């Protein structure tokens, strides 16, 4: 097997990530130059640069941060779930977590008491999404368990039905809300980083960082798990504890990202696949590399989404699906249907 | 020693194993025989610690199986299950390296040598860099065998610890030459202080290579002892059914049978 040199992958991705981040800060309706960055980031900009400084600090910087965090968290959760299910097509969305989170968040948006301030709302939305995602995951796990063992097939089937029910619930709620909320819900169902300011990021950052930092530590156990659950046990892995940790972290990541940016698909599927094509399925490198590549992909997609049709901003979730879907089909066709070979 | 004492396993109201005892000593190759559903795999799972017996107990080096942590167990016993679940494109060498996860590892050079040795033992060293998914069934089985061998290997500087290898039909997917190569390899490994338990379907492989044999029938131990004690036509007839006739040939100490199928009339 010919593979990309393993030791080069993380430095290369990190370098690309830095370059892309700087690029994303500069492009937009108000074009900035690299030479402006230093003066704009310094405290107390002069009156003529105050506007540009505000654009940079209050709009683009939080947006770049949220793209990086959400992309990394989604991709590393996707990679971990694919290992957990021993299925390269598995994804947190698959077991109903995304839809459950979306339903709870929609419920919150539709019914929120007017008394709560915007600040409180910023904290409550990710919390609601996390609770919804966690409930969906617990339900899927419960339905998916037979005699204390998690059966992958029944877990996936449970996820499918939870997805259907949650999406139907969201559809019903949309009928009951006023037009402004409906627009909110719709935009956010398509996935967008347009509402990600510092408040939203501050609320979601711990929930996104925790999975992005902790999941890569599970590489050894996930490698063993690819052999099968009994086999992983024989190699000294506490499989049930490993499953619980991975599900909890994945639910955190998905719930928080759904709360901030809505439903963004394909990042959790695409990034791990690309990394596997380069360096194989070993999780010790796959997990951190997926996090970096996921951050890179979502940042690129979001930068495209907000610049390609200015002044209109495209929903980034629609963009990742538009770009990711065909790529994924091409990948499947190239593999001649041998999904396991990915 | 790995000891199963008066093991019972009941599941869904059925008695799948009914008072079976078995002792596996370091340096001993023990074959478990019996028809499908006789309880062979259940016995192996109980001895491996995958299942906890409904009654009876499993002792690993004088301590109850449950008293050992999963990691400690992984250093003392390796298990080759039937079938394989791997659907990701690890190379054969990476699969074997997974066997080293729980081991007290040596230097990187020692580990690499140890993995190479396991690959060579199982005759898959030339396939080491190939994707596991592109290997044939028999090649995969040999890679998995190399993995469990690597799990119980020790870097040369370390004092050898007796380990137990539990193999569920290790020869099932192998061609005739590799079946014998596999059994001969297991016999060579006995010298390193390993105890090997293998579930087998071929009574002649058991007769030729095993030190001791268990013959299971409907969840009970029909006979246990040396090959010449257990592999007798009347016992085999009871275990495998009256359709088969077992005709002994050659050395009675290393029993070998021609097997005739009774005329349906």
**Calpha distance B179→B177 (Å, rounded):** 5
Q: Following DSSP, what letter does each residue of A168-209 receive, concatenated?
A: HHHHHHHHHS-HHHHHHHHHHHH--STT--HHHHHHHHHHHH
Q: Are strands B14-24 and B195-199 parallel, antiparallel or unpaired?
A: unpaired
- Which residue among B69, B73, B133 sits closest to A340, beta carbon to beta carbon? B133
A-chain residue closest to B79, CA distance:
A234
CA distance B101 to chain A (A): 7
Q: pLDDT digit string (tens) for B128-163?
A: 999 999 999 999 999 999 999 999 998 877 777 789
Q: pLDDT digit string (tens) for B3-58?
A: 999 999 998 888 999 999 999 999 999 999 999 989 999 999 999 999 999 999 99
Do B94 and A280 make contact, defined as CB atoms within 8 angstroms? yes
Domains of chain A: 6-341 (1.10.3470.10)
A88 chain-B contacts, CB cut-off 8 A: 87-88
**Calpha distance A20→A26 (Å, rounded):** 10
Do A228 and B133 make contact, defined as CB atoms within 8 angstroms? no
Query: Is residue A45's pLDDT more than 70?
Result: no
Residues of chain B whose beta carbon is less than 8 angstroms from a beta carbon of chain A are 48, 50, 69-75, 77-79, 81, 84-91, 94-95, 98-99, 101-102, 129-131, 133, 151
B-chain residue closest to A239, CA distance:
B70
Domains of chain B: which residue ranges?
2-261
Strand residues in chain B grouped as ranges (E): 2-11, 14-24, 29-33, 55-60, 63-64, 77-80, 164-168, 195-199, 212-217, 220-225, 244-249, 256-261
Which tops the pLDDT comparison, A299 or A318? Answer: A299
Q: Give the dihedral of Cα atoms B73, A288, A141, B15; nearest 10 deg.
A: -20
Average pLDDT of chain A, as a whole number = 83
Between the CA of residue A283 and those of A162, B55, B87, what are the distances in Å?
A: 29, 40, 14
Tell me whether 0.90 is exceeded by the ipTM: yes
Query: Is residue A148's pLDDT more than 80?
Result: no
Do A236 and B102 make contact, defined as CB atoms within 8 angstroms? yes
- Which residue among A86, A234, A282 sits closest to B79, beta carbon to beta carbon? A234
- Judge whether A335 is closer than 8 Å to chain B, CB to CB: no
Query: Is residue A117's pLDDT more than 70?
Result: no
- Which residue among A1, A227, A282 sits closest to B129, beta carbon to beta carbon? A1
> What percent of chain A lies above the pLDDT cut of 70?
87
Let me know: does B212 contact B223? Beta carbons within 8 Å: no
Whole-number pLDDT of residue A175: 84
- Judge whether A231 is closer than 8 Å to chain B, CB to CB: yes
Q: Max alpha carbon distance in chain B (Å)? A: 66
Q: Are strands B29-33 and B195-199 parallel, antiparallel or unpaired?
A: parallel
Let me know: does B19 contact B220? Beta carbons within 8 Å: yes
Domain B2-261 is of which CATH architecture? 3-Layer(aba) Sandwich (3.40)
């Amino acid at each position: 097997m010919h593979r990309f040199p393993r030791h080069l992958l993380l430095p290369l991705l990190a370098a690309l990530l830095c370059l892309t981040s700087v690029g994303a800060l500069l492009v937009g309706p108000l074009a900035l130059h690299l030479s402006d960055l230093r003066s704009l980031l310094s405290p107390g900009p002069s009156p003529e640069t105050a506007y540009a400084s505000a654009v940079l600090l209050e709009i683009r910087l939080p947006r770049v941060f949220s793209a990086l965090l959400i992309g990394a968290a989604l991709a590393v959760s996707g990679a971990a779930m694919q290992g957990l299910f021993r299925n390269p097509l598995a994804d947190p969305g698959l077991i109903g977590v995304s839809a459950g989170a979306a339903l709870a968040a929609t419920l919150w948006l539709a019914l929120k008491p007017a008394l709560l301030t915007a600040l409180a709302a910023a904290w409550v939305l990710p919390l609601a999404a996390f609770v919804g995602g966690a409930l969906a995951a617990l339900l899927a796990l419960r339905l998916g368990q037979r005699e204390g063992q998690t059966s992958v097939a029944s877990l996936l089937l449970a996820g499918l039905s939870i997805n259907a029910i949650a999406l139907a619930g969201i559809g019903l709620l949309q009928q009951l809300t006023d037009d402004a909320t409906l627009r909110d819900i719709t935009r956010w169902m398509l996935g967008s980083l347009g509402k990600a300011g510092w408040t939203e990021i501050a609320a979601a950052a711990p929930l996104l960082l925790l999975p992005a930092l902790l999941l890569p530590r599970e590489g050894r156990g996930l490698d063993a798990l690819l052999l099968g659950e009994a086999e992983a046990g024989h190699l000294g892995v506490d499989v049930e504890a490993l499953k619980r940790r991975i599900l909890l972290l994945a639910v955190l990541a998905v719930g928080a990202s759904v709360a901030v940016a809505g439903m963004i698909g394909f990042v959790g599927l695409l990034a791990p696949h690309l990394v596997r094509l380069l360096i194989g399925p070993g999780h010790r490198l796959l997990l951190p590399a997926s996090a970096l590549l996921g951050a890179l992909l979502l940042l690129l997609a979001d930068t495209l989404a907000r610049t390609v049709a200015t002044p209109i901003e495209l929903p980034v979730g629609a963009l990742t699906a538009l770009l990711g879907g065909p790529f994924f089909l091409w990948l499947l066709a190239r593999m001649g249907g041998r999904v396991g070979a990915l | 020693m790995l000891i199963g004492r008066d093991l019972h396993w009941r599941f869904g109201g059925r008695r799948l194993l009914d008072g079976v005892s078995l002792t596996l000593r370091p340096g001993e190759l023990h074959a478990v025989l019996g028809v499908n559903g006789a309880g062979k795999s259940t016995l192996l799972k109980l001895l491996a610690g995958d299942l906890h017996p409904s009654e009876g107990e499993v002792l690993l080096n004088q301590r109850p199986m449950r008293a050992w942590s999963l990691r400690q167990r992984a250093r003392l016993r390796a298990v080759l299950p039937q079938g394989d679940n791997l659907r990701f494109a690890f190379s054969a060498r990476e699969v074997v390296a997974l066997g080293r996860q729980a081991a007290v590892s040596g230097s990187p050079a020692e580990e690499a040598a140890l993995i190479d040795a396991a690959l060579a033992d199982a005759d898959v060293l030339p396939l080491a860099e190939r994707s596991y998914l592109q290997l044939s069934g028999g090649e995969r089985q040999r890679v998995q065998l190399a993995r469990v061998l690597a799990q119980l290997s020790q870097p040369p500087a370390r004092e050898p610890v007796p380990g137990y290898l539990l193999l569920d039909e290790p020869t099932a997917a192998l061609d005739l030459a590799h079946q014998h190569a596999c059994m001969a390899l297991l016999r060579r490994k006995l010298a390193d202080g390993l105890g090997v338990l293998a579930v087998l379907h071929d009574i002649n492989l058991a007769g030729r290579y095993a030190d001791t044999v268990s013959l299971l029938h409907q969840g009970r131990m029909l006979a246990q002892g040396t090959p010449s004690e257990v592999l007798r036509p009347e016992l085999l007839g009871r275990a495998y059914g009256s359709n088969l006739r077992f005709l002994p040939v050659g050395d009675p100490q290393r029993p070998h049978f021609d097997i005739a199928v009774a005329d349906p009339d």
